Structure 1
């Protein structure tokens, strides 16, 4: 069965996936077993759908209905293919601005970033299928509806997306404190993709190895880092300033 943004019950989730419903994430009871549950696991892996194993208490908080050990969240938006996003954007403008979120985990941070991205003219947001924040009601609310205006692309691996962007002539710049380069010394006026990292870990070290440039924000206080949505806003508005 399903409501506006959830599907609960193993068979119902399997049928929804097979019918083409855009599933954002499947939450599975970590101790669940049985033939039907094995079939669900097989289907979500075959379709490369984001999933996680959780305690039954989380599922009980998500719905009071008989969930049978599985709850899926339905995405309120469709997602665009990476190649289509790049090609269509380059056909329209010479200096596109993309945003890559490397396993950002908080839906409200995600929504706040989408809102800023829309305001700064970002042409598309790229996220990884596994380990990324869901596009749910919190995302929609904190984005103030901007989630419906900015193309969002889900990819299997962030690194592959970076290689694809680089091959298309788009510079990649990672936001990280692990550099001596200041944000204000980076050229954001050319085609560029800005990469923001996870709230706790930052940008993955394997991603940092392949980007074109790394940049940090100057920090003068005693706290070592900004909230990722605030830091992202600073990077995006520096790009806007340079493009004015």
Structure 2
């Protein structure tokens, strides 16, 4: 297993990486960067819908260890992302009741890695993330996942809504984990073909997404703290699905 995610520096080098089909997780761009060559790079980034972050030059200096970065740095993903249509079709061909996981802009790489690890352990058929706003597959993500990032299919979509409509068209129910409901997860039939959605650490699931899901459900909170860490909540939710599915089989 690779321990580090490859990084490349320099405008021309990143342009060539994108044109050669490399999977770029994120491009870090120095604030107020301009110029003809940068405009070419910026057009490619937008065309390919690559995640970006505008940062001070000090961050780029740290990433490049003060080498000549020309105001840009990029992370090359250590994994190849799966195509969602193909994943759904291939999964349903061998498993009539799959379990998928959709992540609505999980931003912390360690939470992301922990979620990937739990998903692999509970037999999730695939994880779907959004191209913009989600934590990248970084060295910390891979490490926290204990290598599970190389074992479970991960798809990137332009928007989580795109994936929801594709799942619903395939008759896979959409279950949103949210505190904005009175329904407990234990009352939802998770033995059916299911795609479970978890929201970001700070705001949860986007309200526009909650309007189009099939079910909303929550975990009971009996203490004074109002929410769980998202990776902990994910574990509890996925193991409830596992419990229900093992019970049906027995």
Q: Normalising by structure 2, report the TM-score.
A: 0.95
For residues 94-105 of structure 1, what are the structure 2 equivalents within 5 Å? 94-105=96-107
Match of 1:243 in 2: 245
Match of 2:197 in 1: 195
For residues 131-142 of structure 1, what are the structure 2 equivalents within 5 Å? 131-142=133-144
Q: What is the deviation of 1:199?
A: 0.5
Q: Which runs of 4+ in 1 moved over 2 A?
A: none
Match of 1:58 in 2: 59
Q: What is the deviation of 1:115?
A: 0.3
For residues 24-103 of structure 1, what are the structure 2 equivalents within 5 Å? 24-64=25-65, 65-103=67-105
- Distance in 2, matches of 1:62 and 1:220, equals 43
Aligned partners of 2:51 and 2:133 also within 8 Å: yes
- Distance in 2, matches of 1:135 and 1:79, equals 10
- Distance in 2, matches of 1:168 and 1:52, equals 35
Does residue 234 of structure 1 match 2:236?
yes
SS of equivalent residue, structure 1 residue 231: helix
How far does the alpha carbon of each residue in 1:189-229 deviate from its partner, in whole angstroms, 9 at most, with x for none?
00000000001010111110100000111001111101000
How far does the alpha carbon of each residue in 1:12-60 deviate from its partner, in whole angstroms, 9 at most, with x for none?
0000000111111111112111111111100111112111222222222
- Distance in 1, matches of 2:84 and 2:224, equals 40
Specify every segment of 5 or more residues in structure 2 that has no aligned partner in the other structure, as ranges. Answer: none
For residues 98-137 of structure 1, what are the structure 2 equivalents within 5 Å? 98-137=100-139
Q: Alpha carbon RMSD of aligned pairs, Å?
A: 1.0
Specify every segment of 5 or more residues in structure 1 that has no aligned partner in the other structure, as ranges. Answer: none
Q: Normalising by structure 1, report the TM-score.
A: 0.97
- Distance in 2, matches of 1:106 and 1:61, equals 20
Aligned partners of 2:14 and 2:74 also within 8 Å: yes
Aligned residue pair count: 242
Match of 2:146 in 1: 144
For residues 14-33 of structure 1, what are the structure 2 equivalents within 5 Å? 14-33=15-34
- Distance in 1, matches of 2:174 and 2:56, equals 38
